[in-house]
Chain A
Amino acid sequence: MIQLQNVTLTFPDGENRITAVDNVTLRGTNGTVTGITGPSGSGKSSILAVAATLLRPDSGGVLIGNSSDMTDAAQLSKHEATQLRRERIGIVFQQSNLLPALTAREQLQVMARLGGGTSRNKRAKIDARADELLDAVGLTEHAGKRTHQLSGGERQRVAIARGLVHEPEVLLVDEPTSALDQERGAKIMELISRLTRERDTATLLVTHDLAHRDTLDDLVTVLDGRITTPIAGRAPTR
């Protein structure tokens, strides 16, 4: 689970400060995809950055985990936040942001090496899970291909698999369909929705494309840094 509690984030603007996120409270529960939408500049990406511990809010909390293992990411040091991202948060970027030198399988395997001090057992575990996830996203045959040999949709699927390979509790997804056509975009959204359920991940997904809203369990609209309208996505029949 991830919960943003009364989060406020401001940026310097000359001698003043502008408020990018204004007292936002938002909850993403396990096994569900919570969409965050809004016009450009509304603050939805800032919310995602705070949730990803890439920005520290001026005030408020970012709670990650269940009640027995709850961490307030807003209180962590830079080093602790990096470790939290490495171990408990998965991120899927707007562009796939794959490393050009690595094959699809290696894009996933690198997650086991980010800390420099990961145990051999953990590396072996993630290496094995890489194949499982590539299979789950339908890319087993492309596992040995590098980024430039993959299509846009395939890259995004690799990025989704990378975001999940270390079994994070929270998956943060930033505009995953922005570079894809409608058909591929729909498949990616279905994939995220399916993997979120299968892996019981709390997924926050930023999008301004509501064509695929039926794949979202919840949807909130952000305007001027505030959540204005909590909208039900599709009926919670699953």
Chain B
Amino acid sequence: MRERKGIIVFVAWRELRFARGRFLLIGAVVALITLLVGFLSGLTGGLAAQNISSVLQLPGDRLVLQQPENGDPSYATSSLDEKKVTAWEQADGVESVTPIGIVQSRASASRIDDPTGVALYGLPQHAPGTQSNPLFDLAPVHDDQVGVSSGAADGLGVETGDTISITGTDFTVSVVGDDLWYSHTPVIALTPEAWSEASKRVGGTGEATVLAVTGNAEWETIGAATGTVAETPLASLTALEAFRSEIGSLGLMIAMLFGISALVVGAFFTVWTMQRASDMAVLKALGATTGSLVRDSLGQASIVLVAGIGVGLAGVIGLGTLAGQALPFIISPITTLAPAVVMAVLGLAGAAFALRSVTKADPLTALGSNR
């Protein structure tokens, strides 16, 4: 294996050292694009988490929402009366149904003057499949209690035992839990009864807005019969308007950035490889195999890509850590390594596209060519 990469470590490394300014420029562009893509991915991830982190904790094989007569289902407008809940409970193949209420409101605490926007969840205790569920860990026992996510606790400046006011009613904080969000507002959990009252006070129906259903049922048939729609938890996220619009535009930006990255990095390597075409012809005339020259070119591109992406990734983690204190920013493998891998693949694809000038380099041109 060591013998096979002889020409790579020989010519490619020396060219990298010889034309270091050019390679630094290419590497810097790769690093900046990686930084841009990584930063946007981290921000998208952070915004997404602020939208959906609590929804992703909802249990069940399907989440049932009201299917409006016109338009798409929506978490914000869904309302499921007792008749619908009962229909789902009695449907064939359904094992359990957990009615859950979600509504956005405001909460205040004596320590903070201004009220804070919050998402109120009506959560029953001991619902099926909710062991070690950070959302259901917030579910209070008594109607005068609330479970507060850490984001809400920070916003309101409260801790366990403090009192907060929601829609004019005081509640005691029974627990401060994980950092869970719904549509950019931190989560506060109430009992289903307390939530129903709160919902009515903010103009809602007081009825559950979503059912967490387990089982193996004819989801579409039951949905059609009950005026509801049953979606997988992931698919149900499209019923969150804020998430849908944000992820759509940010996802488009990331996709376009990847496209631009592929063009820029590919163009760099195309031009560079074309400039090497005469050297390739000489090496071929001297007896170099096309395979060894291809490995040389791809190896060279890989070195530049890995170095550029590494620097860019370090920048994402460094700046992301700082930005995370002020912005919804997530540093995770999916927001750092995934963009880095995509960048590497696109860069190598660009370099591979340019390989034609290597494979097609005619050794005959080395004879009598003016270099």
* Interfacial residues, chain A to chain B (CB-CB below 8 A): 45, 48-49, 52, 54-55, 79, 82-87, 89, 91, 93-95, 97, 99-102, 106, 109-120, 123, 146, 162, 174-175
Task: Give the residue of A45, A55, A116 whose beta carbon is less than 8 angstroms from that of B6.
Answer: A116
Given known A45-B368, A106-B14, contact A82–B7 (CB-CB < 8 A): no
Q: Cβ of B267 < 8 Å from any Cβ of A?
A: no
Q: Is the Cβ of B367 less than 8 Å from the Cβ of A49?
A: yes
Of listed B10, B282, B287, B292, residue having the most chain A CB within 10 A = B287
Residues B254-295 near A (CB distance < 8 A): 279, 282-289, 291-292, 295
Distance of A86 Cα from B283 Cα, bound (Å): 10
**Which B residues lie within 8 Å of A101 (CB)?**
11, 14-15, 17-19
Task: Give the residue of B18, B285, B369 whose beta carbon is less than 8 angstroms from that of A85.
Answer: B285
CB<8 Å pairs between A and B, sample of 9: A82-B288, A86-B288, A87-B287, A93-B369, A102-B11, A102-B14, A110-B10, A113-B7, A115-B6
Q: Number of B residues contacting the other chain (C-beta, 8 Å)?
A: 33
Q: Cβ of B83 < 8 Å from any Cβ of A?
A: no
Q: Is the Cβ of B367 less than 8 Å from the Cβ of A48?
A: yes
Distance of A116 Cα from B17 Cα, bound (Å): 21
Distance of A111 Cα from B292 Cα, bound (Å): 13
Distance of A116 Cα from B287 Cα, bound (Å): 11
Q: Is the Cβ of A45 less than 8 Å from the Cβ of B367?
A: yes
Distance of A91 Cα from B285 Cα, bound (Å): 8
Q: Is the Cβ of A94 less than 8 Å from the Cβ of B14?
A: no
Given known A54-B367, A99-B279, contact A86–B6 (CB-CB < 8 A): no
**Which B residues lie within 8 Å of A112 (CB)?**
6
Q: Cβ of B363 < 8 Å from any Cβ of A?
A: yes
Q: Cβ of B142 < 8 Å from any Cβ of A?
A: no
Closest to B294 in A: A116
Q: Is the Cβ of A95 less than 8 Å from the Cβ of B369?
A: yes
Closest to B278 in A: A97
What's the least CB distance linking B322 to chain A, in Å?
A: 40
Distance of A55 Cα from B371 Cα, bound (Å): 21
Of listed B2, B14, B286, B364, residue having the most chain A CB within 10 A = B286
Q: Is the Cβ of A175 less than 8 Å from the Cβ of B287?
A: no
Given known A85-B285, A97-B369, A97-B371, contact A118–B3 (CB-CB < 8 A): yes
What's the least CB distance linking B84 to chain A, in Å?
A: 70
**Which A residues lie within 8 Å of B18 (CB)?**
100-101, 146
**Which B residues lie within 8 Å of A82 (CB)?**
284, 287-289
* Interfacial residues, chain B to chain A (CB-CB below 8 A): 2-7, 10-11, 14-15, 17-19, 279, 282-289, 291-292, 295, 363-364, 366-371
**Which A residues lie within 8 Å of B2 (CB)?**
120
Distance of A52 Cα from B3 Cα, bound (Å): 26
Closest to B296 in A: A116
Given known A110-B10, A116-B6, A116-B292, contact A95–B285 (CB-CB < 8 A): no
Given A87-B287, A94-B369, 10 other A-B residues pairs in contact with their CB atoms under 8 A:
A54-B367, A82-B288, A83-B287, A91-B366, A93-B285, A93-B369, A110-B10, A116-B5, A116-B292, A123-B6
Q: Is the Cβ of A111 less than 8 Å from the Cβ of B286?
A: yes
Given known A85-B287, A117-B4, A123-B6, contact A97–B366 (CB-CB < 8 A): yes
**Which A residues lie within 8 Å of B286 (CB)?**
85-86, 91, 111, 114, 162
Given known A54-B364, A93-B366, A97-B282, contact A116–B289 (CB-CB < 8 A): yes
Q: Is the Cβ of B366 less than 8 Å from the Cβ of A110?
A: no
Closest to A113 in B: B6
What's the least CB distance linking B358 to chain A, in Å?
A: 14
Task: Give the residue of B17, B283, B295, B370 whose beta carbon is less than 8 angstroms from that of A114.
Answer: B283
Distance of A93 Cα from B371 Cα, bound (Å): 11
**Which B residues lie within 8 Å of A89 (CB)?**
287
Q: Is the Cβ of A95 less than 8 Å from the Cβ of B370?
A: yes
What's the least CB distance linking A73 to chain B, in Å?
A: 13
Closest to B18 in A: A101
Given known A82-B289, A93-B366, A101-B19, contact A120–B3 (CB-CB < 8 A): yes
What's the least CB distance linking B278 to chain A, in Å?
A: 8
**Which A residues lie within 8 Å of B292 (CB)?**
113-116
Q: Is the Cβ of A52 less than 8 Å from the Cβ of B367?
A: yes
Q: Is the Cβ of A109 less than 8 Å from the Cβ of B367?
A: no
Q: Is the Cβ of B14 less than 8 Å from the Cβ of A114?
A: no
Which 7 pairs of residues, A with B, have the shortest CB-CB distance? A86-B287, A116-B292, A101-B18, A113-B6, A85-B287, A114-B288, A101-B15
Given known A95-B369, A97-B369, A174-B367, contact A54–B285 (CB-CB < 8 A): yes
**Which B residues lie within 8 Å of A79 (CB)?**
289
**Which A residues lie within 8 Å of B364 (CB)?**
49, 54-55
Given known A97-B282, A101-B17, A123-B6, contact A114–B367 (CB-CB < 8 A): no
Task: Give the residue of A83, A94, A110, A162 whose beta carbon is less than 8 angstroms from that of B7.
Answer: A110
